[in-house]
Amino acid sequence: MTNVIQTQAIDSSILDQTEIALVDGVSKTGDLIKNHAASMCKVFNIMDITGTKIITPWYKLSGKDAKGIKARRASFVARMIARGHTDGVDKDGNPKPSATVNTYWGRVKAESGHVPNGKVSGGTSDVDAKTAAELKTMINRIVGAEEDGKDCHASVILDSLKEAYVVLTGEAYNAGK
């Protein structure tokens, strides 16, 4: 584009400063999460009499035992919303927290030892099992639509999905199982 006029001289020092701040912030996120997780564990984990063995980690507490955790979660959400992590408003006009809020809270829990659903004890995702389940869901949805007499474009990939299911699981697709 030859008709573009640059209205400001490039100030690389400003770019350097903001880039450094960004990179430093990114690299510190893990440490910040670790520190907050350690604090949550220290304050809320229920320990044995010697204080060396966790009886119940904070993220598994419920009822009145979780009252302080609920308050911390509410504080965390409020602070994240104040920083602009919102996703519209709820029916009462209050800002809804964005997915980022839950993502970071989940990272704190994971750093504290929580194993999220869909993960195996080693902390790695059981990708094949989840993918097989999702393939089965897609296949069932398409088959159901066809059985109801609906014409859906997804029917053209049904055989490919079934083949992928066989390759992934070693089993033929069986409806409803």
Predicted TM-score (pTM) above 0.75: no
* CA–CA distance, 28 with 167 (Å, rounded to integer): 42
* CA–CA distance, 44 with 64 (Å, rounded to integer): 12
| Predicted local confidence at residue 4, as pLDDT | 54
Under the banding of pLDDT at 50, 70 and 90, the label for residue 12 is low
Contact 77, 97 (CB under 8 A): yes
| Among 127, 129, 157, 126, residue whose Cα is nearest residue 141 | 157
Contact 105, 50 (CB under 8 A): no
Given a cut of 80, whether residue 20 has pLDDT beyond it is: no
| Mean pLDDT of the chain, nearest integer | 81
| Predicted local confidence at residue 169, as pLDDT | 77
| Predicted local confidence at residue 123, as pLDDT | 42
Per DSSP (E only), the strands in the chain are: 46-47, 54-56, 86-89, 95-97
Residues 25/26/31/32 CA torsion (nearest 10 deg): 60
Rounded to a whole number of angstroms, the CA Rg of the chain reads: 25
42 Cβ contact partners less than 8 Å away, ≥ 6 residues apart: none
| Among 44, 75, 77, 80, residue whose Cα is nearest residue 59 | 44
| Among 43, 66, 45, residue whose Cα is nearest residue 57 | 45
